[in-house]
Structure 1
Amino acid sequence: MKKILTILLVAFIIIQFFPIDKTNPPVNEGMDFLKIKNTPENITKLISNSCYDCHSNETRYPWYSNIAPSSWFLKNHIDEGRQNLNFSTFAMYEPKRQIHKMEECIEMIETAEMPLESYYIGHQDAKLTDQQRKELVVYFKKQIEDTKIKMQ
């Protein structure tokens, strides 16, 4: 048993020499969802607190991002989040894709799939009440309608 614990400890120490890259891509405010949609402050706060760490180029890495293997899981999650939806580059999406992404946001919010339960562990301010979820859904629906009107 002692030998196994020693091996695990050595392995844990060794993997600390393989840190993740925590460099955020540059942010162009002219491309950011919250800016281009002139999002009200209360909605901005909700989206920033609940979505931006994984779905933008403005990730705030928590203390445990310095400890492998949790850092690897975190980095993978952020990369996947940005790949699926990146609010920092939202203006680059074609209008139809913007609409689709906002429809996906509505679905994820209504079904409470986002933010992820695991995200709440270190981010209690990201937890959305039912009322906040309704506000976000109304907001995204309004943005979809506005985008459709602009497409005509």
Structure 2
Amino acid sequence: MKNTLKKILFLLLAVFVIAQFFGPEKNDGDLVTLEPFLAETNPPEDVKLILKETCFDCHSSVTRYPWYSKITPVNYWLNDHIEHGKEELDFSKWESYSAKKKEHKLDEVGELVEKKEMPLESYTWVHKEAKLSDAQIEAVVAWVNKVKFKYSLEPRPE
């Protein structure tokens, strides 16, 4: 019995060690991909910092990976979060969005931030700087409303 348990534990350890040599593709884009979004929406410096610390890791092609992202299976879990986040909103692809889609996405950003549903709680556990104060939430929502209004004035294709 003890011998079997040792073999099972050794096998599990071996699988874990071997798994460390494999992992998902990293989300390592270039900051240049965010320039069109930042230039077009022109967030104030405080909001730009908030976006960098709370949004871009999961919603752009530029992810700042924490130390534990090198550990399998954690790296697969993180990659799943990033891929899902980019499916919902990818600031790196902002240029490709229509004015209507930009307005809608900003509406969602404002709503989710105001309801404290974004950033995700699981993200703020590890990234304490991403936990938004009420003043930061107000700043983001005010900026979102200003930019949303700009998009609402743009002509729509018939």
Using structure 1 for the length normalisation, give the TM-score: 0.90
Residues 126 and 30 from structure 1, CA distance in 2 versus in 1: closer, same or farther, beyond 3 angstroms?
Answer: closer
Q: How does 1:3-152 map to 2 (within 5 A)?
A: 3-26=7-30, 27-31=32-36, 33-151=37-155
CA contact (8 A) 1:115 1:127 kept: yes
Structure 2: gaps (5+ residues):
none
Quick one: distance in 2 between partners of 1:144 and 1:151? 13
Number of equivalences = 151
What are the superposed Cα offsets for residues 47-101 of structure 1, whole Å, 9 maximum, x if unpaired? 1111010001111111111110000010111111112101122121000000110
Q: Identity of aligned pairs, percent?
A: 40
Quick one: distance in 2 between partners of 1:114 and 1:28? 22
CA contact (8 A) 1:30 1:91 kept: no
Quick one: distance in 1 between partners of 2:86 and 2:27? 14
Residues 98 and 125 from structure 1, CA distance in 2 versus in 1: closer, same or farther, beyond 3 angstroms?
Answer: same
Structural RMSD (CA): 1.7
Cα distance, 1:44 vs structure 2? 0.3
Quick one: distance in 2 between partners of 1:55 and 1:101? 12
Quick one: distance in 2 between partners of 1:137 and 1:76? 27
Quick one: distance in 2 between partners of 1:20 and 1:144? 35
CA contact (8 A) 1:20 1:71 kept: yes
Give every structure 1 segment of 4 or more consecutive aligned residues whose post-TM-superposition deviation is greater than 4 Å: none
